[in-house]
A and B are shown apart, each in its own frame.
Chain A
């Protein structure tokens, strides 16, 4: 083993054997992405409709902001442990925690997206005879899409960086390398696992940033 754990990590990563098989990097990465996607998706199914409702009607705004703040304050490791004690080892406990982790960003993204529309534009759309649903889907959402995607981006990066906790309670993902390394004091492997998580987070962040730019409504940027 190399003296310098960082060089050791690079050595670990460059070993071709690490890139194949059921505990190889591609499969672990796919697991990691899968947990992230599932967590963000479930959270989005809850938070986005609520956020759109709050943003469009202005009702329950204080409640939503408060709930998001509370969810934000919960320590994810503690949640994973708590849920694991309640529902047992497996994927359910970490997934529940990821959902809770993702909700605040998604909620804030959804309601700020809707709220960002110029009230005069919304008023004009209503006066032209758009239904509330049409105002939401044809005016507020297209105009606020970058903010909504921004919420997805924030949630995704948070969850992908935290999804290693799935391995803490017996599931897969890139966290496996970290917790295995921790158990056997194999620092190069821990660092390699961390690097993989970091790279994945950066790649996702960049991809969603590009999506955010792509969804900017045409006509609103200075031409």
Chain B
């Protein structure tokens, strides 16, 4: 479990990155911190492995204050995947993946063997092992980054917009692979992104941040869609633009899900007698609390459930 207790981060010169942030992140859960630039999301994530130290407040891992831990050892125990991979350009794929295990003193042969397994896990061709990062595509580099983050088998994986620099098709592919990995590995993942769709895809729990690290809403994607806490959240998730307001049209005997502009979003699966999954609250007032409670108030969509 990761805990933030009244965390504040002020930079010299007076820039206030995070005002007063409190959150608990459950173990083995993927949490997406989502917000625009200036929301402090990366700063918050980097406090977990002490790449940033808070000005005041505490960050804890399983109840222990990270401020009391040696930063180097702490970082070696936490996986870190960053945007544009951050791979060492002068080292091969295999040497990049073994970085942390080798730092931790794992025998080289053992670390390499494990690295080859990990390459398989993240869907990398074993032939790429001896390549250098510059010889890989952006998507392949990110896969190496994920493998490196997992190499020391950490309990916590920090991901800082890891798929931000790859094209949309590869990004979706990587997102699905991460979902698959997470189903198998059940790590505690803290995933930073500015893309709400990505946050909804990856996060078991999504934290929507306003500038200054202020929490706008915390909840599952379903909870947030069903009951956006306020106009800011509604606008952020696209509910106010009708992008999330789907309804069902019957075409050739099938239920086609259509968005507010009439564009087809997909086909409704299963028996037509199912519950009203096709509607969501749009622009309606949420509960206002940080723990969205299933959106009982916010769930009145324009389209009645079938």
Contacts from A to B (Cβ < 8 Å): 118, 120-121, 123-131, 134, 138-139, 142-143, 217-220, 222-223
Contacts and interface: CB of A to CB of B under 8 A. Distances in A.
Given A126-B51, A127-B51, A222 B134 contact: yes
Contacts of B75: 126-129
A5 B92 CA distance: 58
Given A219-B89, A219-B90, 15 more contacts: A120-B86, A123-B51, A123-B82, A124-B86, A125-B88, A126-B75, A127-B75, A127-B86, A129-B76, A129-B104, A139-B88, A142-B90, A219-B91, A219-B92, A220-B90
B143 interface: no
A103 B90 CA distance: 29
A80 to B, nearest CB: 42
A223 B87 CA distance: 17
B72 A131 contact: yes
Contacts of B89: 118, 121, 143, 217, 219-220
Nearest to A220: B89
B84 interface: yes
A123 B158 CA distance: 14
B163 interface: no
A120 B73 contact: no
A222 B136 CA distance: 11
Nearest to A138: B88
A138 B75 CA distance: 17
Contacts of A223: 132, 134-135
A152 B80 CA distance: 37
Contact of A219 (B46, B76, B134): B134
B137 to A, nearest CB: 13
Given A126-B51, A127-B82, A128-B75, A218 B90 contact: yes
Given A219-B133, A220-B134, A128 B76 contact: yes
Interface in B70-114: 72-77, 80, 82, 84-92, 99-100, 103-104
B210 interface: no
Nearest to B79: A128
B132 A120 contact: no
Contact of A123 (B73, B74, B86): B86
The residue in B51, B74, B91, B148 that gathers the most chain A C-beta atoms within 10 A of its C-beta is B91
B90 A217 contact: yes
Nearest 6 A/B pairs, CB to CB: A124-B86, A219-B132, A129-B76, A217-B90, A129-B75, A127-B80
B269 to A, nearest CB: 41
B49 interface: yes
A40 to B, nearest CB: 26
Given A127-B49, A218-B132, A223-B135, A121 B88 contact: yes
The residue in A118, A134, A219 that gathers the most chain B C-beta atoms within 10 A of its C-beta is A219
Interface string B111-152: 000000000000000000000111100000000000010000
A139 B88 CA distance: 7
Contacts of A121: 86-89
A120 B161 CA distance: 14
Contacts of A128: 75-76, 80, 99-100, 103, 148
Contacts of B87: 121, 124
5 contacts: A127-B80, A129-B103, A138-B88, A219-B90, A222-B134
A59 B127 CA distance: 43
Nearest to A127: B80
A129 B72 contact: yes
A123 B51 CA distance: 9
Contacts of A126: 51, 75
Contacts of B86: 120-121, 123-125, 127
Nearest to B100: A128
A130 B103 contact: yes
Nearest to A124: B86
Contacts of B99: 128, 130
A57 B253 CA distance: 68
Nearest to A145: B90
Interface string B28-53: 00000000000000000010010100
A97 to B, nearest CB: 37
Nearest to A118: B89
B16 to A, nearest CB: 22
The residue in B46, B86, B87, B91 that gathers the most chain A C-beta atoms within 10 A of its C-beta is B86
Given A124-B80, A127-B82, A128-B76, A134 B88 contact: no
Interface in B204-241: none
